Structure 1
């Protein structure tokens, strides 16, 4: 199986790991107890606790397999270790000025598993992020959108947000891209 690498920030990896541990060590064992109790009550064909508990167990197991696969493919990219901090790379917070709408927008380039549009987190494979990668302050990026071509000027690039402290010690599988 030759799958694309799963670039991810340390915060994103920690969130996936936390969800995995919560499902594995808290939610699944509690549900197994409920299903065992329900199975001991006799007729399983009309036992809602048993039927729905087994269904939820399958959902949890499926999610655990998915999270495990994503963690196995993960390549942690710590923005604090980036070189050339004046250019846009993975993990950067980029403030753009829309030449069409004369408005500012700030985005963070993150991994596919970290998308959160309401926070401005965009995937590194999105058209906007791809257009920004390698650019620096003052560069104009062009992006084709459903409503036509948009142009943005990069007005700020930073690798640390006041809301999200970055780790200063890279993990063993940290990579600079």
Structure 2
């Protein structure tokens, strides 16, 4: 598995979730399984089967997070000199030249992407079109609605 780019905030969010799973949810589901076992016959014990299924989900997520963190290449953009180029972790303000609508995106790893919070994956079409460009560059980005022309108005390393 190759290195997975991740921001400092994204790695911290995963570590927090991992800690919650290991210290709160795992013990709770173990307790639920123990209580369900006390009810007797396990073949027809819905509580037991639900708790075991929940345990499987928790253990799977723990393994998933641990794998991602062990392969993470954590990039702290705030410690880098602003070269004026769009790179992983940068915050980019772009202007749609057709609609004059301005939007700001932060380019993050796949696990951190959240379009509602303007966090876009480094692998998204918009991010791929912006990476390596500079302020005042005009880029054409292919979207589901067709090609859209954007001007990069600001690049921040925050």
Q: Same fold (TM over 0.5)?
A: yes
Q: Which residue of 1 aligns with 2:35?
A: 37
TM-score by length of 1: 0.85
Q: Which residue of 1 aligns with 2:71?
A: 73
Aligned residues: 158
TM-score by length of 2: 0.95
Q: Which runs of 4+ in 1 moved over 3 A?
A: none
Q: Give SS of 1:151's match.
A: strand
Q: What are the within-5 Å matches in structure 2 for residues 6-155 of structure 1?
A: 6-155=4-153
Distance (whole Å) between structure 2 residues aligned to residue 55 and residue 112 of structure 1: 27
Give 1:96 deviation, angstroms: 0.3
5+ unaligned residues in a row in structure 2: which ranges?
Answer: none
5+ unaligned residues in a row in structure 1: which ranges?
Answer: 161-177
Give 1:85 deviation, angstroms: 3.8
Structure 1 residues 65-117: Cα deviation after superposition (integer angstroms, max 9, x where no partner): 11111111100000112233422111111100001111101100000110110
- Indicate conservation of the 8 Å contact 2:106/2:118, yes or no: yes
Q: CA RMSD in A?
A: 1.1
